[in-house]
Amino acid sequence: MEFVAHPRDLPLEITLIEDQPFPQINKERAGFVGITSFTSRPFDNGRSVRITLEEIDPNFCVSGRVVQCEKEMDGYRISIEFPTKEECYCVRMIEQLSQIEHYRRQAKIAGRRLNYNEAAAEWIQKFAASFPAFTI
């Protein structure tokens, strides 16, 4: 199972929701299953959460399950899995867009001005092959 680290400069809105029944997850499955993200508050393992990301897509909204939440010096590192095929696929696509936007912002800090398409082309060439594949 692979989790992608969501960029800290694109904060997710993570909201606790009523626990939902998720299908059983095969712990041996390979490929992309979720994300890790930074949050200012802790979440209990096993709880259901709703995730939105206005900055990338105002219509993006998925539900997942907290699998780990660890205290760090300035907050919490949360791992969220997306057990359904549809949500997992949607999150993987949003994460690629988030990684491209993060890459564009880092280039700007380094003094390079890239539009989104230029950043996407560079990110794809450098990192797309190593981005976890979608498998369920």
In a domain, 74, yes or no: yes
* pLDDT (mean) for 107-135: 90
Strand partners for 15: 50
In a domain, 126, yes or no: yes
- pLDDT of the residue at 133: 74
Number of folded domains in the chain? 1
Residues in Cβ contact with 106 at an 8 Å cutoff, skipping those fewer than 6 apart: none
Strand partners for 48: 65
- pLDDT of the residue at 124: 94
Least confident of 18-27, 49-58, 96-105, 121-130: 18-27
In a domain, 136, yes or no: no
pLDDT digits (tens, 9 = 90+) for 47-96: 999 999 999 999 999 999 999 999 998 899 999 998 777 888 889 899 99
In a domain, 135, yes or no: no
Instruction: Look over the chain and give the mean of its residue pLDDT values, rounded to a whole number.
Output: 89
Q: How far apart are CA 15 and CA 63, in angstroms?
A: 9
- pLDDT of the residue at 135: 57
> Domain with 85 in it: what CATH number?
2.40.10
Q: Which two tokens stand for residue 44?
A: 């209990």
Q: What is the pTM assigned to this prediction?
A: 0.87
- pLDDT > 90: what percent of the chain? 66
Domain containing 56: what range? 2-130
